A and B are shown apart, each in its own frame.
Chain A
């Protein structure tokens, strides 16, 4: 059971960065908003703060870009946007993920129906 838990966690972690990229597909987002949205997704089971190391890596890897913008309520804020590289990575993952998911689903349901 415990071993299964850590494997699920590893799966979540692998998919998480693409969830971040997917949220940016329709336009740039403010960091806090991005982190809140993901924190509320059922099944991802992450705390908001643990996303910042991920965002930091995505930024360094050039998959996202950050832009400073004015805020009506405080100091200027950093917004995240998808870079061209990030967009390509997301497209690739979307295709691979669909294949992976379908294959796993097929195997899981075969086993169940036995």
Chain B
């Protein structure tokens, strides 16, 4: 337990030193580098590499990294391109109320092509449209078969509108977390 705390402190000190050293590097590079190096350390530790000092020594000193960052000459960049991503989420979430099933389906297909979400998150988006969609249609057919009255299809239809909206909110939060990780820190 003490060892974990020590390791955490070593990492925090290292990142703070890096942040100080990067003060004179181009801002966009400095942000990227701090985010990348934090991610590197976190991932190396998650992979079971317990020796934090060894991880840091392979990374090099904060001064070395900052020197490399100052040398890199950034092109003026367009702010992180996520405009399309907001539209996709709107098509998924808001679209469910405008044209249920069909618009969210388009939204899920667009989200499937974005680099900002993982494969599992994309499957989740598809499922939020397809599962309630199938339940609504399948439920209605079953009801007609059995002479029942809307007990399955009606609740499913409500889920068909709500599930994509909820999914869109979840994906939006993931997106803003990831953007923040890249921009600030």
A51-93 residues at the B interface, CB under 8 angstroms? 51-57, 59-61, 65-71, 73-78
Q: CA A49 – CA B115 in complex, angstroms?
A: 24
Task: Given A31-B36, A78-B39, answer yes or no on A66-B115 (Cβ-Cβ < 8 Å).
Answer: yes
Q: CA A60 – CA B28 in complex, angstroms?
A: 10
Chain A neighbourhood of B72, CB < 8 A = 53-54, 56-57
Q: CA A75 – CA B75 in complex, angstroms?
A: 30
**Chain B contact residues, CB within 8 Å of chain A:** 25, 28-29, 32-33, 36-37, 39-40, 42-44, 46-48, 58-61, 64-65, 67-69, 71-75, 77, 115-120, 178
CB pair B29–A53 under 8 Å, yes or no, is: yes
A47 within 8 A of B: yes
CB pair B32–A59 under 8 Å, yes or no, is: yes
**Chain A contact residues, CB within 8 Å of chain B:** 13, 30-32, 35-36, 39, 47-57, 59-61, 65-71, 73-78
Partner of A55 from the list B36, B61, B120 (CB cut-off 8 Å) is B36
* CB-defined A-B contacts under 8 Å, sample of 16: A32-B44, A39-B58, A47-B58, A48-B40, A48-B58, A51-B68, A53-B33, A53-B71, A56-B29, A56-B36, A57-B29, A65-B115, A68-B115, A68-B116, A70-B119, A74-B47
CB pair A31–B39 under 8 Å, yes or no, is: yes
Partner of A49 from the list B48, B59, B71, B178 (CB cut-off 8 Å) is B59
Chain B neighbourhood of A65, CB < 8 A = 115
